[in-house]
Amino acid sequence: MSKSKRNSGLRFQPAGGSRTPQIPTGKKQRLRIERLAGDGRGIAFFEGRTWFVSGALAEEEVEARVLNAHGKVVEARLERVFSASPERRQAPCKHFDRCGGCNLQHLAHADQLALKQRLLAEQLQRVAGVVPERWAAPLSGPEFAYRRRARVAVRWDNKAKKLEVGFRAEASQDIVAIEDCPVLVQPLQSIMRHLPMLLQSLSKPQVVGHVELFSGTALALLLRHTAPLAEGDLGRLQAFCKEAGVQLWLQGEGEPYPLDAGQSLGFTLAPWNLELAYRPGDFVQVNAAVNTAMIEQALAWLAPQADERVLDLFCGLGNFALPLARQAREVVAVEGVQAMVERAAANARSNNLHNTAFFQADLSQPLTASGWAAGGFSAVLLDPPRDGAYEVVRKIADLGAKRLVYVSCNPATLARDTLELVRQGYRLKCAGILDMFPQTAHVEAMALFEAG
C-alpha cells in the first residue's frame, strides 16, 4: 500500500490542540440561569461556555435558542421556561418576544429598579473601591407611556416590493411591525398606529430613510429621505400631519427643517418657568418626568447659592444650565458642538436669563487652559456621554470646586471617573439611579462629590 493511501484516512489536529466545535444558530439548549448580566440578560454556564440568554431571569430553568456563538460565548433567546422565577411577570407588550427595544418587560418594575441599583453599586465597588456615604432612593416616573421621542426603522424590501416599518428586532437587522408601543407617550402612540399605512401608501416609499417622532411643546414628525420626494407624496405627508396636528420636518442631505418655516419645537421645565427650543437631531432626554426630577435632585445636591459661580459641562441645550441660572450668580456652560452652544445661548436669551455664558470646547481635553476657567467655580455639574469625562475630571480639582454633581448614563465610566475624583481628594457623598428608560436595562445615575 502506498504512503499516500495509508495516510488518506488520517485527521491531523491543528497546532495548539483541538478546535472547539461551534454551536449552530437555532440550536436549542436547556440551561439553568445563574444571575443577570449588566445588560439584563440571564447568564448560564454549560459545557465550558458562557451563555447570555435574553428574556431569562436568575435561578430559572429554561430552554434557549442560539442567536450566535463565538468562541466560548453564546448569545441566545429564551424559548421556554421550565421553572420560573417569582420575579417573572407576563410582558405587557405583545411585541416583547421579538422587538429589541424593551428587554426587561418580563421583570416587575420594582425588581428592575433593584437590578439597576445593584449594577451601579457593583461598578462603584469593583472599579473604584468605594461605597457612597448615602444611597439616594431611585428617581422614577411612570413605567409606561413615558418616551417622548422615538426613531422608527424603515426599509424597502425590493423582492416583496413593500416598505417595512417598525422597530429593530433583537440582535438582528429585521424590522418588527409595531401596531402599538406602550412606552411611547400617548400622542405618539396614536401617530405610530397610523404611520405604517401612510408610508406604505407613498408612490416612492423606497426613498424614505427613517422617521423620528417627537412630543414637546408641539408634536413633530421628521422624515429622512434619500432622494427628492414626489410632489404627490409630499402632499400625502402634509395632509396626514395636518389632520393629526403634527409638525412635518424633512431632512435630505442637509440639516432637518420644518416644512412651515414659522414652526418651532421645544420642551418645558415647569418648576423653573422655562421653555427650551430644540430641533430634531438635538439631544433631549426622552423621559420628561424623570428629567424634571433629575434636575430638581441635581440642584438640591449641588445647592448653588446666590453669590456663587457654577460650571455646567456637556451642557447641551441648557437643560441644567438654565435652572441653575435661576439660583446662582453666574453659570458658565460648556459644550463640544458649536451649534448646540448657539442654541443653548438662544434659549437663555429667550428665557430672559442674562447671568449665563456659553462656550464651545473639546471636552476630551483638560479644562485648565481655557479662559473661561479662570477665576474658578464653587460647584460643577457634569452630564457627559457614555464614554464619561475622564480627561475633564483629571484636573477638575484645579477649578477649586467644593461640590460636584456627576450625571451618568454609563455606570462603568462613572466608576472609572469616581476613582480619579477620589484620588484628587473628593468624597462620594451620595449616589442613586435615575430610571430614565423603564423596561430596559439601561442605567443612568447621579453622584455627589465633596472636596476634603
User: Please, where are the H alpha helices in 245-334?
Assistant: 288-302, 321-325
Contact 284, 267 (CB under 8 A): yes
Own/partner contacts of 115-122, CB < 8 Å, gap of 24 or more, are 115/36, 115/40, 115/441, 116/433, 116/435, 116/441, 116/443, 117/432, 117/433, 119/38, 119/411, 119/441, 119/443, 120/411, 120/414, 120/431, 120/433, 120/443, 120/445
* Nearest-5° Cα angle at 411, 398 to 140: 110
Give phi and psi for 279, each to the nearest 5: -120, 150
Contact 244, 192 (CB under 8 A): no
- Residue 363 CA to residue 343 CA, distance in Å, equals 18
Q: Is 338 helix (H, G, I), strand (E, B) or coil?
A: helix
Contact 182, 176 (CB under 8 A): no
The end-to-end CA distance of the chain, in Å, is: 86
Among the listed residues 419, 414, 451, the one whose alpha carbon sits nearest the alpha carbon of residue 431: 414
Contact 386, 443 (CB under 8 A): no
CA distances in angstroms from 209 to 161, 224, 389, listed in the order given:
16, 5, 33
Among the listed residues 332, 301, 327, the one whose alpha carbon sits nearest the alpha carbon of residue 314: 332
The gap from C-alpha 81 to its chain's centroid, in whole angstroms, comes to 29
Q: Is 409 tagged catalytic?
A: yes
Length of the chain, in residues: 452
Contact 318, 344 (CB under 8 A): yes
Contact 36, 43 (CB under 8 A): yes
Q: Is 388 helix (H, G, I), strand (E, B) or coil?
A: coil
Output the DSSP codes for 393-446.
Answer: HTTGGGGT-SEEEEEES-HHHHHHHHHHHHHTTEEEEEEEEE-SSTTS---EEE
User: Please, where are the H alpha helices in 55-185?
Assistant: 109-123
Strands 49-54 and 42-46: antiparallel
Strands 356-360 and 330-335: parallel
Marked catalytic residue, from 99, 181, 315, 409? 409
- Give catalytic residue positions: 409
